[in-house]
Amino acid sequence: MPPLQVRDCPEDVYERLRVCAAEENRSIANQALTIIQDYLDARKAGQLDAMRVPGRAGVAVVRRSAKGAEVDYAERHRRVFERIASRPPIPVSEDRPRADVMLAQIREEEAR
């Protein structure tokens, strides 16, 4: 396999790559290769434009669906959360069991 070296990498880019590699249990070199391969595969498949559409905080939110149509997930999520916020709150009894208590009971029953 031919060697690849990157010189003068900005510190913030290197740190982001290091964090990403750690999250995916890869070395920094393996993570860099994976990212390059994903980019080249997306470029070959013609999906690069969809990957580059900026969304909130510079994150790509427009992707191609399985059928090839573009889907703006940020807009879709915004509409869903608007619908949720417009609904009346669900009344909750003060006598309800706490979630941690219910989870402990379930784990006890499963352990038997």
Q: How confident is the model at residue 89 (pLDDT cuts 50, 70, 90)?
A: confident
User: 71, 64 in Cβ contact below 8 A?
Assistant: yes
- With CA atoms as reference, report the closest residue to 70 among 51, 42, 83, 44: 51
Q: How confident is the model at residue 110 (pLDDT cuts 50, 70, 90)?
A: very high
User: 53, 74 in Cβ contact below 8 A?
Assistant: no
pLDDT in tens, 72-81: 777 788 889 9
Measured distance CA(108)–CA(112) in Å, rounded = 7
Average pLDDT, the chain: 80
Answer yes or no: pTM beyond 0.85: no
pLDDT in tens, 17-45: 999 899 889 899 998 998 888 888 877 77
The domain locations on the chain are 1-45, 49-87
